Amino acid sequence: MTSTPSAQELFSLDGTVALVTGGASGIGLAAAEVLASAGARTIIASLPGDRPAEVAAASPYADRLSGVDCDVTDADQLAALITGVRDEFGRLDTVFCNAGVALDQGPHLVSTDAQLDAMIDLHVRSVLRTANLALPLMAEKGGGSFIIMSSLAGLRGNRTIGLYGITKAANAQLARNLAVQWGDRNIRVNAISPGVIATEFARGITDDPALAEARLAKTPLGRFGEPSHIAGTVLWLASPAGSFTSGQNIVVDGGTLVSD
């Protein structure tokens, strides 16, 4: 009879390599730092204006973090990113596709094709490209964890960010498809759907007293989430503790989705 692994063993990422897109701030940076703290050599990829190399160098986990400029919607840059990881480390165990943006701010009647095209390109097409590049490398080394940032907006009707919600719903379906297609190579694929997390991304809600009060009234825990709450979920899905979880959309929202 085998003994139960310790907490340290269940959540250790020693000897692994992780990649976080959109990793220079907010949830992405929190996740990258938690992965690094668990032992993973972690690369944060972000737009040049986000200064990912400087952000990595300034982190308390700088010895296990590095930053790379990459526009993930550019197929050539994305291919160069994954090739660079292969050439430097020879393996890739965890990918967290976190890069995202909400461009629409009104009902569909006033949203535009350009907004939809841009979000499909970033949230769906670039994630699928990342998977097609990264998952074969994961499979060569025995498997891994591929994590896609979805959103509560992909599970509820939306008055103002409906296009964003459409693309985030697609993210969750992509996770299910990839989980089925790559499970026999020991690759786990999951999505995470946060509620309102206190980051720059959500300041339109958290910094508006009326909007904040309305959202918190619909959230059983009565508070907004922190980046560390999503980072912890990423760690679980990346670690041995999450090794039997695949094809799921993990909702981390303080209970908002189930609230009456």
Quote the crossing angle between the two packed helices 162-182 and 126-140, to the nearest 10°.
Answer: 20
Q: Which residues contact 68 (CB under 8 A, 6 or more apart)?
A: 43, 44, 45, 52, 53, 81, 84
- DSSP string across 92-147: --EEEE--------S-GGG--HHHHHHHIIIIIIHHHHHHHHHHHHHHHTT-EEEE
Quote the DSSP letter at residue 190: E
Of 96, 164, 182, 236, which is the active-site residue? 164
Distances (CA, A) of 103 to 50, 212, 225: 18, 20, 22
Q: For the chain, what are the domain ranges?
A: 7-198+226-251
pLDDT mean values, one per 10 residues, the chain (260 residues) = 88 98 96 98 97 97 98 98 97 97 93 96 98 98 97 94 97 98 98 93 86 91 96 98 98 94
* CA-closest candidate to residue 55, choices 76, 29, 77, 74: 29
At residue 200, the pLDDT reads 85
* CA-closest candidate to residue 18, choices 34, 33, 37, 40: 40
At residue 204, the pLDDT reads 83
Q: What is the CATH number of domain 7-198+226-251?
A: 3.40.50.720
At residue 48, the pLDDT reads 96
Q: Is residue 61 among the annotated active site residues?
A: no
